[in-house]
Chains A and B, each alone.
Chain A
Amino acid sequence: MITLTINGTEHRIDADVRTSLLDALRDHLAMTGTKKGCDHGQCGACTVLVNGRRINSCLTLAVMHEGDAITTIEGLGEPGNLHPMQEAFLHHDGYQCGYCTPGQIVSAVGMLGEVKDGWPSHVSDHLTGEQGLTPEEIAERMSGNICRCSAYPNIVDAIRTASDKTKEPA
């Protein structure tokens, strides 16, 4: 048995040592908001926050995360009480089929935390100090989340809108 702390709640599950964090969420805990797009760390649909940092939950085993604070899309908000990032994706139409969307939204929240902490990206013009949030920066930092419907322009707009409202990462 392993204990996982997800969205502030402890869950005990009887999972195989081979069970990925993603499959633990989807198959053991019925938390299917986190999506399986590739199971190879290539698409970002399974993005969750672990201790505030975004990771691909398909590339990590559930047993490695006892004691970690895991945040999934379900923990950010729900239909009657959406997180500002979820509101912004809704309003800017930052999705179409919706399958990559939870990963995009969780990734965006994590990304804003990285920017706040001064992490540079490939397109940053300086490596230390405060980092800005231009459309180019957002596009670069969100390129680990594939959207085949190709809602990218709207995703960038949504994140710009939400970044004004989101003070802290989840």
Chain B
Amino acid sequence: MNKHVMDKSVGETRLDRETQGVIGKPVDRYEGKLKVSGRAPYAYEHLLEEKNVGYGFVATAGIGKGRIKSVDTGAAQAAPGVLAVVTGDKILRSSAQPGSPAAQTIDGQVFHYGQPVAVVVAETFEQARHAARLIKVDYEPAASGRYDLSQVKDKGVASDQGVMPADTERGNFEKAFSEADVQFDQTYTTPSHHSSAMEPQASVAKWDGDMLTVWSSCQLLESNVQQIAHGVGVPVEKVRLLSPYIGGGFGNKLGIGPDAVFAALGAQAAGRPVKLALARPQVYQVTSRRSETIQRVRIGTTKNGKITAFAHETWAANSPGNGFFEPAGVSSVFLYGGEHRRVSHRLSETDVLMTSAVRAPGEAVGMLATENAMDEMAEKLGLDPVEFRRINEPKQDPQNDIPFSSRKLVECMDDGAKRFGWADRPKTPGSRRRGEWLIGYGMACASRKNQLQKSSAEIEMSPAGHATVRTSMTDIGTGTYTILQQIAAEMLGLPLDHVSVELGDTSLPPSSGSGGSWGANSAGSSVYVAAEAVIEEFAKRLGVDADTLTLKDGHAIANNRRIPFSEILKGEAYKVTGTVEPGETSEKFTQSSFGAHFCEVAVSSVTGETRVKRLLTVAAAGRILNEKTATSQCYGGQIWGIGSALEEELVIDKRSGLLVNHDLAEYHVPVNADVPKLEVVLLPERDPHASPLAGKGIGELALAGVGAAITNAIYNACGVRVRDYPMTLDKVIAGMRDDLTDAA
């Protein structure tokens, strides 16, 4: 086993030498031709040749909370084409919480509106869908339910099952805040969000004796296969999970969807393979969502704008038995200076669908509040928002006094301000107008904690000298296939078309999976380690030191000789596995990617509608592995920011916990016409402490703070601060000064 533990920083590597010249280059996606021609098979699209397939459909609950007295499956069983109906204790409530050993079961209860109660399998999809409606459930409804976070906020507890500690304190915040020259204290609210990936969760399950094969749409195969095994009730060794193509995840597929277990149970009951896709409304009601949040931000400064006290106190919801809380304060711990600090998270139980990770959990909504607060405080101090942040740029992590592994926040702000023309911003709200449109500029900062995870990959060199990379890693649209090909090609000195990549199969070496922006660095580093081992073997066979070996175009160059790989391999394949693990650099350095967003909006003085006119993100995230896919990730983050600022709100019915707008017509995600020309600048950076690749995560960075840059621009345009996301036109027009509005 070739293992690299990240205990110390990496020096110059073959990736820096760029001998092959493919790392970082904006090459087209490895699997692109399959995707643009409709040939890439997603979860539901397996076993196409199998004639004897059953189709599953989920029946769901029509109350918000209560006990299931009985489930009458008679009419469904008798319906045409029905092969089996599955009810009982193995029915899952929702998706599995990411990384948990198992998804929760219903245990005869209704925990939330729209929760699964039964699964029907029939000869055809149409028959299954019809029969699912014939399931009759007799409920004993609960007298009342908890559907409104603001009503149960004060019962919130400090959960120890989050992705960060619930509380972080330094110094004496209350005292420092009360003694501060200038004080700011505001509360912000953000709504529930849904990932809304384009591919609904779907699974195909097939039994061969006691062996179960499941094709499903999953981000983290190593924990997902365990969740399936637990849900079905078989040893994990008996389950193989495949997710070669995933139609978007955004956190919603970190844990298995209930479809994975339902397809397997349905296949068991029906005695044939079963396909089961969640219907789109079920994607909203039976998987997971981001919690709504309440966030109080207090900042105390000196007269000159130096922060002395900073507090970010947050409240979120989850359903019974779930300790995950939205880590809204994650960036507040270290982003700005200040001697006295408090970040807290309180979690309250509600009877609504489980909450879990949605893209950039924490930063995505936490920085809506804090980056608005920084803007409001800058105005109060009479400082430019960029200048206020510069004054409070910490030299090291202000919470624990350890150094940052790399931090180019000020460079991002300065570069962005220059490119954007920030100096030309309207100095006071409502001072610039083009016809009915009020023009405003806003900015905000971005940070996203960097994480390295344990991950393994295998490289097999064919006798001809071509390489195949294999790992259970997933590509959720992030570009994993492509960057792993680039890393292997650069390290081994191979043209790109001499490197194949196989992903998304638990029979391959175990990987980190995709989530938390750790995938590229973790899986990519495992390929780096495996490639180093191949190079060591080549050097050994050639009798030279590996460091003296130059690899290019499938040839090894040493001692003035140029030897083709096929000659070194002597007609035999060579296979090796590499593993990377986080180590001491995770403890000794605070690791994060940083960035800055600049935005111009136009706000209608007639309707209050906001149009984003320009949006620039300058980011520094260590080595960029593929400029094209990294830029695409950033566009995605920026556009998600437009969604969270202006559009997205999963509406919870306060009477029943029903997620009211449970489809793509009513849950408003940005469409093409909502998006202006975007600009993304990736500053050159290497972070030798973050991973052997010297890279950091980027997929979520570009979302962190974007929404606040937009809403800060809205304030600059028309003088309206809403503090209750999203800033829809009704809220904006209601707050507009009479002298600015043209509304009748």
Contacts and interface: CB of A to CB of B under 8 A. Distances in A.
Contacts, number: 192
Nearest to A75: B38
Nearest to B628: A93
A32 B200 contact: no
A87 B42 CA distance: 21
B48 interface: yes
Interface in A66-122: 72-74, 76-79, 82, 86-87, 89-91, 93, 95-102, 105
Interface string B36-66: 1111111011001100000100000000000
Contacts of A38: 200, 280, 663-664
A32 B664 CA distance: 21
Interface string B631-659: 11101101110000000000000000000
A146 B635 contact: no
Contact of A105 (B34, B36, B125, B677): B36
Nearest to A159: B672
Given A38-B664, A78-B37, A79-B39, A152 B247 contact: no
Interface string A36-62: 111110110100000000000000000
Contact of A90 (B28, B246, B248, B249): B28
Contact of A40 (B477, B665, B678): B665
Contact of B198 (A143, A144, A147, A156): A147
Most buried by B among A39, A96, A102, A155: A96
Interface string A112-155: 00000000000100000000000100111011111111111111
A35 B632 CA distance: 22
A146 B49 contact: no
B38 A146 contact: no
B669 A153 contact: no
Interface in B344-382: none
Nearest to A32: B45
Most buried by A among B33, B36, B640, B669: B36
Most buried by A among B44, B198, B633, B636: B198
B476 interface: yes
The main secondary structure of chain B at its interface with chain A is loop
Interface string B673-689: 11101100000000000
Contacts of B199: 35, 37, 97, 99
A23 B672 contact: no
Given A73-B37, A86-B37, A150-B670, A97 B246 contact: yes
A145 B672 contact: yes
A16 interface: yes
Contacts of B472: none
A100 to B, nearest CB: 5
B478 A135 contact: no
A139 B37 contact: no
A43 B247 CA distance: 13
B154 interface: no
Given A40-B664, A91-B28, A149-B248, A143 B126 contact: no
Nearest to A85: B36
B314 to A, nearest CB: 26
A56 to B, nearest CB: 12
B671 interface: yes
B448 to A, nearest CB: 17
Nearest to B478: A96
Given A93-B629, A153-B678, A146 B36 contact: no
B37 A151 contact: no
Interface string B236-260: 0000000001111110000000000
A146 B246 contact: no
A149 B198 CA distance: 8
B87 interface: no
Contacts of A153: 635, 675, 677-678
B35 interface: yes
Contacts of B247: 35, 97-100
B546 interface: no
Nearest to B80: A16
A150 B639 contact: yes
A94 B41 CA distance: 19
B81 to A, nearest CB: 9
B29 interface: yes
Contacts of A19: 124-126
Contacts of B39: 33, 74, 78-79
A33 B671 contact: no
B501 interface: no
A4 to B, nearest CB: 17
A89 B36 CA distance: 7
B704 to A, nearest CB: 15
21 contacts: A19-B126, A26-B44, A33-B37, A33-B38, A35-B247, A36-B44, A39-B280, A42-B663, A78-B39, A86-B33, A90-B29, A93-B628, A95-B35, A95-B36, A96-B477, A96-B633, A97-B248, A148-B195, A148-B250, A150-B670, A151-B635
Given A86-B33, A98-B36, 5 more contacts: A26-B44, A36-B277, A90-B36, A93-B28, A97-B199
CB-CB nearest 10 A-B residue pairs: A33-B38, A99-B247, A97-B477, A98-B35, A96-B477, A150-B639, A73-B38, A32-B45, A79-B33, A42-B664
Interface of A: 16, 18-19, 23, 26-27, 30, 32-40, 42-43, 45, 72-74, 76-79, 82, 86-87, 89-91, 93, 95-102, 105, 123, 135, 138-140, 142-156
